[in-house]
Chain A
Amino acid sequence: MTRVRPDPDRQGKFLGEMKAQQKSRLYFLGLFVLLGLVPLVLRSEYYLHVLIAMFYHVIYATTYRFILRTGQFHFGAHAFVGIGAYASVLLVMRAGWSFWLAMPAAGLIAAFFAVLIGYPTLRLKGIYFAIITWGFGDTLRFIYMRFKEPFGGPLGIFAIPGPNPITIPGLITIDFSQKTHFYFLALALMIVTLYILHRMEQSRFGLIFGAIREGDRLARAVGINIMNYKVLAFAVCSGLGAMAGSFYAHYTYYISPLDFSVLLTIYLAIYTVVGGQERYAGVIVGTVVLMLAGEVFAGYSHYQLLMYSGFLIVILLFLPGGLISLPGLLTRVGSRAEEKEGEKFRNDPA
């Protein structure tokens, strides 16, 4: 039943494409430098907010995609983001930790939960895993709701302090009183996350996940312990997502169980598919494009959801490679071979 699906990441190991990769790495570097300069030009707090929201959504979405790439249909990203937010807030507000300790700790806690949930369930294919992760998310919401102490109940936790100020003596003090400071923190978090995940995808790890995707049995036969790798990927991605959740909590000052509903995961799924899950940059493109487009319908959530889901349907039917494959398709439009390749893509089983 399963035919081997062509995998651009793996094909990218050829020398010619290695160069292209280096080139795209350069593009990314340039992009990050540009993003770093943005606050010098852009004074509007609103646009900074849009960018900050985009940054942590990029983290959510790339980690979400990575789990999808291990061949698991993840439906509980909101659970781990929520763990990150609540854990970090409680560590800061109750245990008196510094934010800079609490954020990684929140990531570790989420990773721990990911292992706990992942170990028994990652062996399950697709839907069961989806149901369990989704149910886990809603169970957590239930716990946040019911236990007023320490989770704040349905009213949530408010007056969350921002990150502790950093002072570099004689140079500057970053006290997170301005959006610009949050902007740089979010940007740094995003770059670190993207880098970690990129390294993972380029390493032996990524190869193994290619194998896992192409057929569990095959990889198992070769002697790879899939479970460990899957759990590891699940834990790392959940942990990174949770750190972004921790950032979100300290950035918005207020969290409630309502914030971590399954709708978040659905949005992430839409970003991933619209951008194109085959390529690493796809999900980033998807998140950025959709979030910008979403701002147009800012006031009306159901129009926003209408546009997002409409986008999703159109992409799935007409552009299975996602937005990221669009330039490629346009430049190679003459080549029939490529078209056939695309056709094969579409008809192949997952």
Chain B
Amino acid sequence: MEITELIQITVNAISIGAIYALLALGLTLLFGIMDILFFAHGAMYMLGAYAAYYLCTKLGLNYFVALPIGVILIGLIGVVMEKGLFRPIRNDHVAIIFLAIGLNWFLESTGFVVFGLRPKPVASVFTGQAHFFGATISWERAVVVLIGLLAVLALYFFLMKTRWGLGMRAFAEDPLTAELQGISNDTVCSLGFLIGCGLAALAGLLVAPIFILTPTMGSHAVLISLLVIGLGGLGSIPGALISAFIIGIIESFGTSYLGADITWGMIFIFVIIFLIIRPTGIMGVVRE
């Protein structure tokens, strides 16, 4: 009995960790490449979830058709935002943070007006549960975990192994030199927003059937992601992955053994103390 419970708690931890990793991925990418803390990530995630609602529930599209459509659509919204809003103030980092904050809450409150105040559900695609060693996980969660991990790996390989990724990393290192080497800063930024917002939308589309949609879901998600990427080391993708699972483990074990009301506070205290002692996070480097 004890051991099944342990397995169940571990499974829960993995599922939470994967969702958090997926959430934090786009945020940490944008920070790593462009040094932008893109608060509107939360709004993009929310829009992704609502895209699932409108494409699947309202238009009756197949979920797997809706998935790429939603991701590309919201990725493109990201590109438009980059070109229209962020490019003019690209070098003013404080203004960019404020702009992203403004955008997040602007889209959230617009969401209330457009999507309505009542929470919206999206029908499950995979029904039923998987059982192993006495632990239970619903199939839809298992799929999210799988796709989440795949997305992390894909992004990592994209950045490390492709020419585009190389260009982005060069830009992250020093935009001026990258420009001299023939890497267009504008293209890199647009690409960064396309991928970053696309990943946020992917997270939203994936969790839509598991959770319930409200316009505020984004702000909650972006604050959690902030905690994750802060702990992991800003801008580091492996760091975000590790810290997402650390937080998932604390949350799962803490909630199951100590209670939900204590756990969330413990996560905060843990992250704060960790950051005060080691401000670079698990993997990050401090940027001047």
Which A residues fall within an 8 A CB radius of B?
68, 73, 120-121, 123-128, 130-132, 134-136, 138-139, 142-143, 145-146, 216, 262, 266, 269-270, 273, 302-303, 305-306, 308-310, 312-313, 316-317, 320, 346-350
Contact = CB atoms under 8 A, between A and B. Distances in A.
A266 B112 CA distance: 19
A309 B279 contact: no
16 contacts: A123-B279, A127-B37, A138-B265, A139-B268, A139-B269, A145-B261, A216-B288, A273-B102, A306-B109, A306-B113, A309-B103, A312-B99, A316-B95, A346-B92, A347-B91, A348-B91
Contact of B272 (A136, A216, A266, A303): A136
A316 B261 CA distance: 39
B42 interface: no
B92 A124 contact: no
Contacts of A310: 102, 106
Given A131-B230, A302-B113, A124 B279 contact: yes
A185 B1 CA distance: 63
Interface in B55-101: 85, 88-89, 91-95, 97-99, 101
Interface of A, secondary structure class, is helix
Given A310-B106, A350-B93, A316 B98 contact: yes
Contact of A302 (B109, B223, B261, B268): B109
B98 A273 contact: yes
Nearest to A306: B109
Given A121-B275, A305-B109, A306-B109, 6 more contacts: A73-B97, A134-B226, A135-B272, A312-B98, A349-B91, A349-B92
A132 B265 contact: no
A221 B276 CA distance: 26
Interface in B7-29: none
Contacts of A138: 265, 268
Contacts of B103: 309, 313
Contacts of B112: 302, 306
Contacts of A266: 101, 105
A25 to B, nearest CB: 28
A22 B132 CA distance: 77
Given A120-B276, A127-B234, A316 B99 contact: yes
A105 B265 CA distance: 27
B187 interface: no
A132 B278 CA distance: 12
Contacts of A216: 288
B109 A146 contact: no
A346 B89 contact: yes
A341 to B, nearest CB: 15
A125 B286 contact: yes
Most chain B CB atoms below 10 A, which of A266, A269, A270: A266
